[in-house]
């Protein structure tokens, strides 16, 4: 049936002009012999009247705090409005279309409101509509429990909906439409040298997201990876090919030059702590941090001292623990972790040397490092992030 899933984000359905572009993308797929299953987000962002946060603020202003069940019921409304609007526009253009809630599309979740997980999916309804040449338009970000309660899927929920449904119906690809031309080698707001990545692996996307890049939500990538379906990030407002997220770039795009480094991500608001008193053998400090839900980022443990970084939001909680237990420490605030990502660097000597030389050439002091098979992270001062990212992009020609 050549099914493809097309997901359109909030900016893609925010205005009449944008919604017109959405209709054109859907009909283009139809004319190419594809059978589209459409997923939509709520319209726009605050102060748009049907944006998720607008609906939430309205009820809070009227009645105060909202219980979790009613929270999910309310937040599902924005996407339902979008689904009905797009389905009706397709009907007006002469095509059969049907608007569906997440539950009606076959997404059955657990009962955890605000951040539900998929229990199982039912493909009968969607496949039935596609076989009848009816375009299903599904409200993203939501599902339904076995008991019929509406749930929402948490952050990145509409992307997750698209990936879930793609696996459910055996789609040949999942297209995620947004307002950018694809995933870039770095944040373009930080470096003008950033460029579009034609294709990237699932694993590299996980690493970029974990390192601070604003890319597709990891849960959506996980569902697509399980089903081995390409995720393609595209722009609603252009005809650029976008970025394909695949299992293997070399196999899927043999003509594409696969570079040593794929991208550079950064995460701001890091604080580096140096504990000058040795940690006890039973790791009391680390245990206390875990109980307070303080996540450690970079960490290096030495006989004489220990160094690690945390999110700046956790500064007060950690200082309270350190002072209470009498630890001696120093800290460096306003830091940034810059991470170089690339699957091909595994086992290649000299990558760290090139990173250090590129940063040293710009007079950027590296305060701490950490590495894995596919990443190398460097802690620097936040005010140097733009120069650091640009230097690394140029060093590795990305």
Flag whether 9 is marked binding.
yes
Confirm or deny that 338 is annotated as ligand binding.
no
- Is residue 291 part of an annotated ligand binding site? no
DSSP, res 267: E
- 271, 333 Cβ separation under 8 angstroms: yes
DSSP 8-state secondary structure symbol assigned to residue 335: E
| Packing angle, helices 52-63 and 68-92, rounded to 10 | 140
Asked whether the beta carbons of 230 and 252 are under 8 A apart, the reply is: yes
The rounded distance, in Å, linking the Cα atoms of 213 and 186 is 8
Q: Is 276 annotated as a binding residue?
A: no
CA angle, 91 then 92 then 98, to 5°: 20
Mapped onto helix, strand or coil, the DSSP state of residue 395 is helix
Q: Is 251 annotated as a binding residue?
A: no
Annotated ligand binding at 10? The verdict is yes
Ligand-binding annotation for 348, yes or no, is no
What b/e readout covers 153-187, taking b as 16+ CB neighbours within 10 angstroms?
bbebbbbbbbbbbbbbbebebbbbbbebbbbbbbb
- Is 178 flagged in the annotation as binding? yes
Q: How far apart are CA 48 and CA 55, in angstroms?
A: 9
Is 7 annotated in some ligand binding site? yes
Integer CA distances (angstroms), 162 to 18, 89, 220, 229, in order? 20, 20, 8, 11
Please indicate if the annotation marks 109 as binding a ligand: no
* 8 Å CB contact between 367 and 272: yes
CA 237 to CA 229: how far, in whole Å?
24
Question: How far does CA 8 lie from the centroid of its chain?
Answer: 15
- 52 among annotated binding-site residues: yes
Annotated binding site for substrate: 52, 79
Annotated binding site for ATP: 7-10, 178-179, 189, 214-215
């Amino acid at each position: 049936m050549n099914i493809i899933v097309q997901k359109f984000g909030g900016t893609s359905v925010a205005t009449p002009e944008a919604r017109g572009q959405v209709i054109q993308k859907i009909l283009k797929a139809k004319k190419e012999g594809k059978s589209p299953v459409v997923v939509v987000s709520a319209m726009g962002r605050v102060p748009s009247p049907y944006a998720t946060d607008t609906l939430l603020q309205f009820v809070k202003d009227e009645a105060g705090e909202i219980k979790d069940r009613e929270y999910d019921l309310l937040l599902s409304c924005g996407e339902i409005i979008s689904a009905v609007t797009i389905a009706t526009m397709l009907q007006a253009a002469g095509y059969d279309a049907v608007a569906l809630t997440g539950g009606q599309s076959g997404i059955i979740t657990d009962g955890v409101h605000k951040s539900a997980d998929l229990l199982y999916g039912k493909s009968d309804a969607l496949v039935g509509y596609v076989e009848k040449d009816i375009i299903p338009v599904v409200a993203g970000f939501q599902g339904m429990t076995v008991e019929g309660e509406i749930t929402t899927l948490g952050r990145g929920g509409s992307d997750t909906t698209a990936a879930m449904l793609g696996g459910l119906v055996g789609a040949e690809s999942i297209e995620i439409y947004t307002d950018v031309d694809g995933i870039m080698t770095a944040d373009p707001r930080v470096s003008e040298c950033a460029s579009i990545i034609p294709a990237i692996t699932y694993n590299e996307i996980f690493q970029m997201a974990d390192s601070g890049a604003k890319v597709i939500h990891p849960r959506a990538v996980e569902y697509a990876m399980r089903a081995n379906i390409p995720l393609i990030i595209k722009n609603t407002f252009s005809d650029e090919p976008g970025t394909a997220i695949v299992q293997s770039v070399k196999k899927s795009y043999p003509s594409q030059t696969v570079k040593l480094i794929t991208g550079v991500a950064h995460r701001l608001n890091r604080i580096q702590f140096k504990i000058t008193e040795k940690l006890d053998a039973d790791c009391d400090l680390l245990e206390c941090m875990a109980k307070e839900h303080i996540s450690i980022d970079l960490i290096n443990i030495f006989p004489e001292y220990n160094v690690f970084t945390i999110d700046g939001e956790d500064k007060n909680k950690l200082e309270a623990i350190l002072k209470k237990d009498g630890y001696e420490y120093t800290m460096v605030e306003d830091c940034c972790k810059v991470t170089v990502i690339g699957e091909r660097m595994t086992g290649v000597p000299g990558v760290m040397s090139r990173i250090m030389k590129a940063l040293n050439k710009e007079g950027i002091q590296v305060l701490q490092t950490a590495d894995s098979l596919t990443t190398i992270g460097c802690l620097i001062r936040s005010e140097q992030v733009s120069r650091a990212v640009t230097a690394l992009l140029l060093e590795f020609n990305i």
